[in-house]
Amino acid sequence: MMSYILLIIIIMIPGLIVQSTLKQKFKKYSKVGINGMTGRDIAEKMLHDHGIYDVRITSVNGQLTDHYNPANKTVNLSHDVYYGSSVAAAAVAAHECGHAVQHARSYAWLNMRSALVPFVSLASNWVQWVIIAGIIMINTFPQIFMVGIILFAITTLFSFITLPVEMDASRRAIAWLGQSGITTSQNNAMAKDALKWAGRTYVVAALGSLVTLLYYIMIARSR
């Protein structure tokens, strides 16, 4: 138990540092103007430059709630990104469009992640309750706990498959921002820095999930 707590603390501290730094970076780069284009304008241009015309761009509530939905082909931008004209808004808008480009190009890792979504949705809804029931009845019905481990393993696998998807979307975004002339060499470096820290949140989440999975496996082995 102590070893698990120690591992969680080791993961938690970098996680807090990454989250804090990410907020600071986006706050800083949100104050750096770009060229008058809003996040929506940039998203539309990136899509069209890649020959994509069947993806809608919408505004959603919240902060850092930006995402691409392959199910209905929508790039969903938070209010500050959708209407903002800054390095931060450009980076986020281009990143989400990077996912749309992945979808249009049948990027293998995105296809794999999309295929896992139904299983991850099911696993996420049940894993907590199955794990609790499994721990309670581990000495009488250890099979329940094993089912919980399998469900949790699915969510962990999803976290790691997400990593190359996010990194590739950022790579496409930064390359296009520079090639299209939307960013200069200076603010392109800022956009790259913002997306780098955003990507690190996924790394920390994946490692945290792996640590928890290993802990559950240790419990099962000890019984």
Which residues are designated catalytic?
Answer: 96
Residues in the chain: 223
3-state secondary structure of 121: helix
Rg (CA), the chain: 20
Task: List 76's β-bridge partners, or say none.
Answer: 58, 67
From the number of C-beta atoms within 10 Å of its C-beta (0-12, 13-18, 19+), residue 34 rates as buried
First to last CA, the chain: 14
Whole-number Cα distances in Å, 108 to 5, 52, 157, 161: 36, 18, 15, 10
- Among residues 198, 155, 160, the alpha carbon closest in space to that of 63 is found at 198
Tokens 């990027």 identify what position? 107
